[in-house]
Chain A
Amino acid sequence: MNRTVSAAAGGLLLCAAPASVALIGGAGTSTAAGTASSAYGIRATGALPIPATPEVVSHDGSLVTDSLASAPDNPLLELGLLEVSARDGQAGATVADLGVGAGILAMLPEDLATQLQPVCEGLGQVPLEEVTDPVTGDLLEGALEDALNQVGGSSPIDLGAVTALDLGALLPAELTGVCDLIAGDVGLAEATAVEATCTGHRGDTRIADLTALGLPVEIDTEEANATTEIPGVLTLTVNRQTDNPDGTFTVDALVLDLFGQEEVVVASATCGRVTRDEPEDPEDSDPPSPTPVVTDLPVTG
């Protein structure tokens, strides 16, 4: 059987894995005297752009702060209080009551929403044991091709975007989560608090009550660049740490990649140094004594 989808929160939890390294590139504003520190609450790039909001930049190293009571009017996000601050070598951003994706459902074409509603209503009536593997609990594939064709004939959706997905790894609870999403009961992702702070080249992330499709996401925010995903639909990266070429350092508390086409950054802090005092010629220490490691690298002999 050729399974085609892997998705949703079970996969989400399984996929949660810290990356071993930092990211490079990204933000950072230079000044002649050094590099500025900055922070913003929310920014989206892609199909539905939202500029960095609210954003502060400390060009001279003095403390600057800003806050916003709620998100700018948009169909992507719902937000509570946003607060940002930056000063020389320090920055922070906090976002309360994040909700991603719930609002966009209201923008669906009416015929699609109408079509989906009875499907999800009927979902609870179907004995799950008839459609799930008794051993693994995974959904069994059925007439997916037929359904694809039925839906595809009248849909404006680019079906090519989903044919590469692997549906097989979904659990029944995740399926319910998808329908809750359709019903507007949950968002693609939600959190009660998201915070990023940096000091010099150290970054910290705090996220409270993170969920995806209404299900808790267990991901270690102390690990840099930990990611989890619903393949093809949603990728979450927490504590994304970026070494920028200009020497600044950025920590993004939460980054959501929606369908590979929309990136949303929630709570971002960038630390620069206006008055550079980094040791250009650090004092050399004595080198450690070499200790052989056991390995089997064949050398040229």
Chain B
Amino acid sequence: MEGSGTPRRRSPATALLIAVLLCAGLVLWLRADVEGPHTSAGTPAPVDLRGLVAATTRTEVRAAPPDRARERVPSGQIVHPRRTVPVYDRPGNGGSAVAKLTPDQFGDTWVPVVGRRPGWVRVLLPSRPNGSTGWLRTDRLDHARTSSLVRVHLARRTLELYDDGSLVGSWPVAVGAPATPTPTGRTFVLGQLTDPQQSYSPVIIPLGTHSESLDTYGGGPGTVALHGWTDPSVFGRAVSHGCVRVPADALDALRNVPLGTPVLIDAD
């Protein structure tokens, strides 16, 4: 066998190991020979969106700026990211990416606009904590306007649906029990889903808000939703775990509400 002149014969694995050692050490060795500072060329290192948490109903984005106008009715403008986009804590060059927003969650992702700067919109996010917002650049978004608005009054235990500012209907609803209250603030219709695992409602309308008293519920992230209920005696009472249970005719009306429609929940 050739190579008999070598001091000892090595297996291919050994050769590989040495090769890898060689490669891995090469840059270290080169670095020792290179004088002068490393160049940064004034260019910040790219941040991989894959390293950012997606703002969804299952996640928390602690760095997201809070909603500072929790009772103001949004304009009705809603936006949909055509592809995954970064969510910034501030508009402009000074902002930092704190999360990303994906094009779909329960169907297409539509979020309401609650602020605007040239080239930027501030939107409500579906992630925890409640009342989270973030800034998106406008050029990767589809823009639309919803004429609908949902209001939930906890003390009155009623839900109102408006269209273009006109009251469409008002219904008695079940809201969160004292130990598991429905959270107040402004949120939005995150999606529409049918859940084959349950029979209490033909459709469930998850909102972009969560129970403040339950971190998880039934294996889910504590998402608050609008949905029907089989026992009509609950309507007008504070008995739920945070969701808003609505009568069948209210659910029929709410099924037509576009995703991204603002939902204002107050203590009245």
Contact status of A301 and B218, CB under 8 A, knowing A122-B3, A259-B23, A286-B144: yes
- A53 CA / B26 CA spacing, docked (Å): 24
Indicate whether B145 reaches chain A with its CB closer than 8 angstroms: yes
When distances are taken between beta carbons in the complex, the residues of chain A under 8 Å from B1 are 122, 125
Q: Interface with A: B60-68, B149-157, B159-167, B186-194, which one?
A: B186-194
When distances are taken between beta carbons in the complex, the residues of chain B under 8 Å from A153 are none
Q: Mark A130-163, 1 if CB is under 8 A from B, else 0.
A: 0100000001111110011001100111110110
A22's nearest neighbour on chain B, judged by CB, is B49
Interface size class of B (residues with CB under 8 A): 35 or more
When distances are taken between beta carbons in the complex, the residues of chain A under 8 Å from B26 are 104, 108, 259
Main secondary structure of the interface of A (DSSP, over half): loop
Contact status of A293 and B20, CB under 8 A, knowing A27-B43, A301-B217: no
Contact status of A25 and B47, CB under 8 A, knowing A167-B16, A285-B144: yes
- A140 CA / B11 CA spacing, docked (Å): 10
Is A243 a contact of B6 with CB atoms below 8 Å?
no
When distances are taken between beta carbons in the complex, the residues of chain A under 8 Å from B194 are 292-295
Is A290 a contact of B48 with CB atoms below 8 Å?
no
Is B3 a contact of A121 with CB atoms below 8 Å?
yes
Find A301's partner among B13, B44, B86, B241 (CB 8 Å cutoff). Answer: B241
Find B257's partner among A30, A165, A279, A290 (CB 8 Å cutoff). Answer: A290
When distances are taken between beta carbons in the complex, the residues of chain A under 8 Å from B142 are 285
Contact status of A24 and B46, CB under 8 A, knowing A284-B144, A297-B204: yes
Indicate whether A283 reaches chain B with its CB closer than 8 angstroms: yes
Contact status of A287 and B6, CB under 8 A, knowing A25-B44, A123-B15, A181-B19: no
21 A-B contact pairs sorted by A residue (CB < 8 Å):
A5-B20, A24-B86, A27-B43, A47-B27, A47-B28, A104-B30, A116-B22, A121-B2, A139-B16, A141-B13, A158-B24, A161-B24, A178-B16, A179-B19, A181-B19, A288-B258, A290-B191, A290-B256, A294-B193, A295-B194, A300-B176
B residues lining the A interface (CB < 8 Å): 1-3, 5-6, 9-31, 33-34, 38-41, 43-50, 57, 77-78, 83-86, 88, 92-93, 95, 97, 100, 106-108, 110, 116, 118-119, 137-146, 176, 180, 189, 191-197, 200, 203-204, 206, 211, 214, 217-220, 222-225, 227, 240-243, 255-260
